[in-house]
Chain A
Amino acid sequence: MIRDLIVIIFTAMLVNNYVLVKFLGICPFLGVSKKLHSAVGMGLAVTFVMLLATAATWPIHTYLLTKFHLEYLQTIVFILIIAALVQLVEIILKRYLPALHRSLGIYLPLITTNCAVLGVAKNNITEGYELFIEAMANALGCGLGFLLAMVLFAGVRMRIETAKPPKCFEGMPITLISASIVALAFYGFAGVIDNMFM
């Protein structure tokens, strides 16, 4: 059981990394990765929202939508729930943790429409996790994977800042090229996890 959960977490984090392998959530990946500090903040916020979204959407899908044969409503219901949840979190943060709220700033509302979060909610269903804890483990792994990708790429970008690429590659082009190389590195994890825990 525990072993299964660990496999799920590591698979979601490394083999199926949402940013670098599945290419979901690219906008915050490119937008917020300029500084390590904000990259970590964004990564933690996304992890938190992913866990929260899974905790809300998985029961609703399993106990409500499936029961009434309304699986086709997944997307719209998930969007509704995630948006409301993020708003709720924002209100709570603003009241009780104003410092964190200020440092997260615009990121939190941006997460509302983040495809990585919706992707986790939908993948929990399509990958057929039968237990709630499995879905949560998957969400945690995805969040940590996002955090890992953000931190790694923030480091890469800090090196790019001081490098002098050819004029035509300056700015976004060189960033995209380095992102693709980092993504390539993550393909090396494919197949590793299964053998590691056998």
Chain B
Amino acid sequence: MLEAILPAVACVAGIGLLCAVVLVVAAKLMSVRENALEKKLRECLPGVNCGACGYTGCDGYAKALADKTEKKTNLCIPGADAVSEQISEILGVTFQNTVEQVAAVHCCGDCEHAVQKADYSGVQTCSGAKMLYGGQQACTYGCLGKGDCAAICPYDAIYMDKGIAHIYTPKCVGCGLCVKTCPNQIITLIPDVKREVIACSNKEKGAVVRKKCTNGCIACHKCEKECPTGAITVEENLARIDYDKCIDCGKCAQVCPVGCILSEDRYGRHRFAEPQR
């Protein structure tokens, strides 16, 4: 009986022991010395790998900070002030304030106001729709409505309503993934304290716009004249806001005859996570 069990036990135990010894030796000999500072910095970062900081991802930014090739601690937009503060503390430098941003959609031509020129039934993505004569809407500048931005948003902050994208700002951290995804480039990042947004991207003349979308900017210059600080300029038949000059008075939104300047609260997720700094 024992003669049958003993060799089996010895065999398995021996092989197991051998494997264990080899692994221990290998782990000792070939251990990788991880940069402790880099690891600590990496843990502060949110890990979305959005690339808003300009590096290939959170790992890249942490490495650059640890190697001292990057001095700015406020580059992480999704992490905002909280992360900037932590990084500053670890590196022992002074705190740098982050400009919190949220995404804004520059189109309000929903299916009630924009004219459809075709019924598109191909691949159900914006980039697909864009390839076929610029999408199913008559206006080729506006939202394509297939939700590429909503699909890529890691925070579920974008929803589609009546054929156009909307940002639910309390969830938005301003990582800018949607900005890069939109084939018509109608999404931009704006400071989240500002309320006014020009919700149109069409650069055609007023009369042409009018035929394609009743919500489009007709370049009437009313907002430009009304603006007390000269923050709005109309270039290429489209109004633009210079957010450095904008004082958030909301007068432009009141005078706009087509209602394509939207004025509403856009506080991003940071405001809700940590109230007024």
Contact = CB atoms under 8 A, between A and B. Distances in A.
A80 B12 contact: yes
A158 interface: no
A68 interface: yes
Closest 3 CB pairs of A and B: A84-B19, A95-B30, A91-B26
A73 B26 contact: no
A84 B19 CA distance: 6
Output the residue of A83, A91, A98 with the most chain B CB within 10 A: A91
B23 A77 contact: no
Contact of B124 (A64, A68, A164): A164
A190 B16 CA distance: 40
A84 B8 contact: no
Given A77-B15, A87-B23, A91-B27, 16 more contacts: A64-B11, A65-B11, A68-B11, A70-B7, A73-B12, A77-B12, A80-B19, A83-B19, A84-B19, A88-B22, A91-B23, A92-B30, A95-B30, A95-B31, A162-B123, A164-B124
Nearest to A163: B123
Contacts of A2: none
Interface in A75-94: 76-77, 80-81, 83-84, 87-88, 91-92, 94
B132 interface: no
Given A64-B11, A68-B11, A92-B26, A81 B32 contact: no
Contacts of B128: 162
Interface string A12-23: 000000000000
6 contacts: A70-B8, A77-B11, A87-B23, A91-B26, A91-B27, A95-B30
A64 B11 CA distance: 9
Given A70-B7, A88-B22, A162-B123, A81 B15 contact: yes
Contacts of A60: 15
Interface of A: 60, 64-65, 68, 70, 73, 76-77, 80-81, 83-84, 87-88, 91-92, 94-96, 98, 162, 164
Given A65-B11, A73-B8, A164-B124, A95 B22 contact: no
Contacts of B16: 80
A64 B18 CA distance: 14
Interface of B: 7-8, 11-12, 15-16, 19-20, 22-23, 26-27, 30-32, 123-124, 128
Nearest to B26: A91
Contacts of B27: 91
B23 A84 contact: yes
A88 B30 CA distance: 10
B30 A91 contact: yes
Contacts of A70: 7-8, 11
A87 B27 CA distance: 10
A84 B27 CA distance: 12
B34 to A, nearest CB: 10
B212 to A, nearest CB: 28
A88 B8 contact: no
Contacts of A91: 23, 26-27, 30
B11 A95 contact: no
B253 to A, nearest CB: 40
Contact of B32 (A68, A77, A94): A94
A103 to B, nearest CB: 13
Contacts of B31: 95
Contacts of A80: 12, 15-16, 19
Nearest to B128: A162
B11 A73 contact: yes
B13 to A, nearest CB: 10
A67 to B, nearest CB: 10
A81 B30 contact: no
Contacts of A164: 124
Contacts of A162: 123, 128
A23 to B, nearest CB: 29
Contacts of B8: 70, 73
A160 B23 CA distance: 43
Given A76-B12, A77-B12, A81-B19, A68 B7 contact: yes
A84 B12 contact: no
A92 B31 CA distance: 9
